Amino acid sequence: MENKGSILMQRYELGRLLGQGTFAKVYHARNLKSGQSVAIKVIDKEKVLKVGMMDQIKREISVMRLVRHQNVVQLYEVMATKSKIYFVMEYAKGGELFNKVAKGKLKEDVARKYFQELIGAVDFCHSRGVYHRDLKPENLLLDDNGNLKVSDFGLSAFAESKRQDGLLHTTCGTPAYVAPEVINRKGYDGAKADIWSCGVVLFVLMAGYLPFHDSNLMEMYRKIGKAEFKCPNWFPSEVRRLLSKILDPNPSTRITTAKIMENSWFKKGFDPKSVKSETDVKELTPLDTDSVFCSSDSGVAERKAESAKLSNLNAFDIISLSVGFDLSGLFEEKDNKREARFTSKQPASVIITKLEDIAKRLRLKVKKKDGGVMKLEGSKEGRKGVLSMDAEIFEVTPSFHLVEMKKSSGDTLEYQKLWKQDIRPALKDIVWAWQGEQQLPLS
């Protein structure tokens, strides 16, 4: 149980509950080392696995790794125990933008400022091939200086999610903010759909109510499909014209973020130079790369070297490599006995030499050695063919490596016996930590 005042992973003191949903709770917390305030999203692993939402969790981690922008909530680190997943994120003290709008419409200058920050963040996300797909005031937070922060990337999609027609096909988002082409289920451009949602947000900020609203959902969908809305009389003519271009039911003629940023109303008081991206925004809490490395498991499994040098992984490319923060069990619903991972503080050359020595002693052929990948292969045919295994070395830093070893062919029992009796014991002098074997207790 998470209780106020309890210490999480010997790193954070949990504070008050900020909000909760079906699968997660968000707490205010304090970094014990720096004293900095953070928000910690606590996800119930069992509930997530039951409803098959693990891909959504992995996607959120991957997206937040890709998108580093001053107007996007920053992910500092990911941790886990057997039952919980923890996202340690930037704390947006000002709460949801929705709370401001709930009190009534905003002044034009204030609404424009938030809209400028929203478009800047969305444009940056799109440049990274990321589409949010659930933009609404509830997912737009404010920091203690009143700056907008886009959050909740659980429904986001990558450019790679597109089918051969170049369109996304998953219907998601909140009905009142969803673009007509998303509702039609015929495929849609994620960038165009996000722009529509931004238009709805602008309308809500300026009007204090939704442009498309009806107690009958199908009637609301009809209005969205025809872009049937009416601007209140206090809307300036410039805003009306801009909204007509954003809330265009035809995505092919809908305005782009680039064109929005050229709009005369939008540009008032907007300084493009003030926008900082991943290259120059400072981390409020730098990741401790000796203790926590974060990303989805696919960051390890799918990053195959394309050249003769080792795969390079940054701090967000491996989830919790250190002892006590391993997430290998998080993304594997059943125990996988065919592979093992360990971290080493030895140089790559030492690791390679050690693997070659083991292969020589066990009379295994080293068939392949490029891109940090070595294939160790037996000489005799077994019940299920020749036993072979792959060893892949990932460089986290020049002096810190992750090594993944797995059976690629042959009999599993034979592999397990060889691994347990010969290979694993022979590796002990280069292993810093085996992954998934030393969890820190957390009550």
Q: Which residues are catalytic?
A: 134
Q: Which residues 6+ apart lie within 8 Å of 72 measured at CB?
A: 64, 121, 124, 125, 149, 150, 151
- Are the C-beta atoms of 83 and 46 separated by less than 8 Å? yes
Q: What tokens does 8 get?
A: 């999480």
Exposed / middle / buried, residue 147 (Cβ in 10 Å: 0-12, 13-18, 19+): middle
Please tell me the distance from the alpha carbon of residue 129 to that of residue 54, in angstroms, as a whole number: 21
- Give the total residue count for the chain: 443
Instruction: Provide the b/e sequence for 370-379 (b: ≥16 CB within 10 Å).
Output: ebbbbbbbbe
CA atoms within 13 A on the CB side of 419: 19
Alpha-helical regions (H) of 172-286: 180-183, 190-207, 217-225, 237-246, 257-260, 264-267
Give CA–CA dist 338/332, Å, rounded.
Answer: 12
